Amino acid sequence: MEHYNMNLTLKVWRQKNAKSNGGFETYPVNNISSEMSFLEMFDVLNEQLIRDGKEPIAFDHDCREGICGMCSMYINGQAHGPWQQNTTCQLHMRAFKDGDTIVVEPWRAKAFPVLKDLMVDRSAFDRVIQAGGYISVNTGNAVDANAIPVEKKKADEAFMAAACIGCGACVATCKNSSAMLFVSAKVSQLALLPQGEPEKKTRVLNMVAQMDKEGFGNCTNTYACEAECPKGISVSNIARMNREFISAGLSSDV
């Protein structure tokens, strides 16, 4: 693949803290390699700002390998940018061309308040998990992997649901700021396995209740969440969670 350098104009959302008003600021960046990742390009910009005596742009990142889900940026109107099933750290500058203007802003959702610049508080996801996204077991020796038979189809579906990295792109891209894809993936990965069976009723009721408490919006089945999910989590998980929720609500022992 041909390597080339480009000059770009960045319009980046700057916000001092959660209580202040924010706004876009424009920055030129020059001689950016087409083989840089988007976050590496931001590193170059921040070094430039520091040399100029200005405050660098705050943005979340950790593994830079598409695993941690931290690199939450809305790029030119798309969560994680123009490449499908891709995190921001995996987006490379060859996705753009010389002279482009790139608009970068944080996730926009009531449940994800901006902390500073491009950083948002996604602890609402943590509280949803704490409400029931786990299996309670007694500690002891590890059980052999093949001790509990699991149907291959269900095992595969559970694995695909577990691929969710909790980045929040589904919330950011949904016109209602719904967290249904995230929550349904976390419900599904346990509901599909025999280990999750004993707590499946309380799990879905508690997690959905916490989701609503956090202020996420309702799902109206536009499928935008699936389209922008970097791991390709299927909306079929939402249907499964709805079935689990209705079934748990009709049970008299919950």
pLDDT in tens, 24-65: 999 999 999 999 999 999 999 999 999 999 999 999 999 999
pLDDT at residue 101 greater than cutoff 60: yes
Instruction: Reply yes or no on whether the pLDDT at 146 is more than 80.
Output: no
Q: How far is CA 163 from CA 91, 173, 196, 214, in A?
A: 19, 19, 17, 23
Cβ–Cβ < 8 Å for 87, 167: yes
Domains of the chain: 5-115 (3.10.20.30), 123-250 (1.10.1060.10)
pLDDT band at 195 (very low <50, low <70, confident <90, very high): confident
Q: What is the largest CA-CA distance in the chain?
A: 66
Band (135; pLDDT cuts 50, 70, 90)? confident
In 3D, which of 67, 68, 92, 72 has the Cα closest to residue 82? 92
pLDDT band at 129 (very low <50, low <70, confident <90, very high): very high
Does residue 115 sit in helix, strand or coil? strand
**Percent over 90 (pLDDT), the chain:** 87
**Is residue 251 pLDDT above 90, yes or no?**
no
pTM to 2 decimal places:
0.93
